[in-house]
Structure formats: C-alpha cells, structure tokens
Amino acid sequence: MFSRSIAIGLVLLASSAAYAGPTSIDLSRYRLTGTFSLPPVDASESSAITYNWNSGNLFVLGDEGEAIVEVTRTGTAVSKMTLTGFQDTEGLTYMGGGQFVLAEERLQDLFVLTYSAGGAVARSSLQSISLGPTVGNIGIEGVSFDPRTGKFVFVKEKTPQAVGEATADFGAGSALLATLIGDNALGVDDLSDVQVLAAVPSLLGTADEDNLLIYSQESRRLLEVARDGAILSEFDFGGISTSAEGVTIDENGVIYITDEGPRVYVLTPIPEPAFAWLAGPGFVALALRRRKAPHA
C-alpha cells in the first residue's frame, strides 16, 4: 500500500538531499543571493575572509592589520581581536581548535595565532614561517589550510604569479615549499586569494576534494581549478565589485567573497534537479491519492 507515511518519507528524503552538503562544485550553477556590510572601522578595507567550522561564523581581516573580526554568516558582528605590529595583512585561514594563520603580503610570512574574543596580540609574539624574501606589493595575497594534509596552499599575486604549497613547522620557523601552478597559467591578471575545497566535508572522497577556488581581483573572476592548473568552472564577478579579493566556503557549499567596501557577497548554488520533482506539491497530492482500493 502506498500510504501517507511513505509519501511523507519520500518528501523528507528529498528535503534532506536538498540540504546535504555538496558532492561537487560547479561555479556555473552559483548565483549572487546576498550582500551585507561589515563593521566599517574594525573591518576596514577587508581583504581576507575565512570560515570557522567550529563556531559556524566568518572571520575577516583588513589589509591594515588592525583586527580580526568575527561575524555571523548574515553579517551580525560577534567579536574582534586586536592586532598590533602588522602592516599589510592579505591572507587568513582557519586551522581548527580556535587557531588561525594570517599572511603578511610584502614580508611573505605566515603567522599562527589562537583567537581570543576581545583580546589582542602583537606580531612579534607569534610563531611564523617565511614563504619567500620581502618584496613590494606583489607578494602573498591568500592562504588556505588543507585539513587532510595539514599543509597550506597559498597564492602570490604577480611577477611572478604562483600557487604554492607549504609544509609548515611553526615551532621551528621553517617550511618546505612546492609550486603547484606556475606563472600566468590561469590566464588572469593577478591572484588575490585561494580556498581549498577539502575544507568542505561532503567533498572528501569525491573528484572535487583536491580542487581549489582561486579569486582574481583585477580580472574579477572566481575560478574552480585543479591543482595542475586546469580551469573547471568559473563565476564572473564583473559588474558586482572592483575591489573584491577574499574567498571562503562553508560546509553547505555557500561561497563568501569579501571586498574593501567593506562588504561580503554570498554566492549560493542552484539545487541539483535530481529529486526536485519529489518535493513538488503535485507529487504529494498524487502520492496521497494512490491508495489501494479495499478488497471486496
């Protein structure tokens, strides 16, 4: 008998499928679904953003290195941690356990810190590693932690452009570096941030787990790329922002991009159509009508 309970069960199954984490990323399916402003003083000229999967909140960093600011995924301010001694902070990533790593662009250094809401920390007190010599305004623009390997993927802006990987020992102040994608391989004018897709739990074990999101501020493009440099999909940010440069993603596959406004743009994937018909009102009505006639 096709009962009411079976019909409701199928609808619940369809609903759970719709809200499960993504099993692939295709930027052509994404749409801009929201925009919100950040606290204008604390998040001044926001240049980096990362998602804290423990708290479910976003953390943003301005390029003047004055504070890390915690906000909800709809833009409500939660807390901040004051920074001192920094000059050109352009990258931020979450490692878990309350720990973050931030990047100084011109120094080309990464610093590890434990976030303390309402607290403060000086650059001189933090452990760090070097990704290269001090340069001009063309250095490290973004960094992303890979939870599978404990390594960091980073991007150098230009001259040359590079996507690299660092095996870091902050205690010893040393790092083993490798180049993943070389100069101009992606056909964009600069590289301004990177996000490892392995940070999305539902992508682990899929073909997309090793891929990266890379943002180019000057070309206004968000790219999904393989680690050999192949471009798999992209989202055109032209007409949306000229100063966007930081990118992160949550466990639902929702992408957040920050600009110097300071603002955050929310990109959401269109649901896969596979089970969409099951949740429609026509199916429910049909299912509830399809009862066997009682036996004579």
**Dihedral sign, CA of 89, 143, 155, 224?**
negative
Burial class (CB in 10 A: 0-12, 13-18, 19+), 53: middle
3-state secondary structure of 120: strand
**Dihedral sign, CA of 32, 94, 186, 109?**
positive
Please state the pTM of the whole predicted model: 0.87
**Dihedral sign, CA of 34, 39, 44, 49?**
negative
Mean pLDDT, rounded, for 95-111 = 98
pLDDT at 272: 65
Say how far apart CA 267 and CA 173 lie, in whole Å: 37
Closest to 60 measured CA to CA, from 39, 76, 46, 77: 46
Question: 28-56: per-residue pLDDT in tens?
Answer: 999 999 999 999 989 989 999 999 999 99
